[in-house]
Amino acid sequence: MAAIKEYYTIGLHDTDAAGILYFANQFRIVHVAYERLLDRIGYPLRQIIRDTVFLIPVVHAEADFHQPLTMGDTVEIALSIAAIGESSFTLAYRLYSLDGDLVGSAGTVHVMADGKTKTPIPLPPDFKNRLRELME
Chain CA centroid to CA 91, Å: 6
Query: Is position 73 annotated as part of the catalytic site?
Result: no
Contact 36, 80 (CB under 8 A): no
Query: What order do you get walking across the sheet with 88-97 strand by strand?
Result: 4-9, 74-84, 88-97, 102-111, 58-65
Sequence-distant (6+) residues with CB within 8 A of 36 are 4, 6, 79
Given the residues 14, 16, 64, 101, the one annotated as active site: 16
Active site members: 16
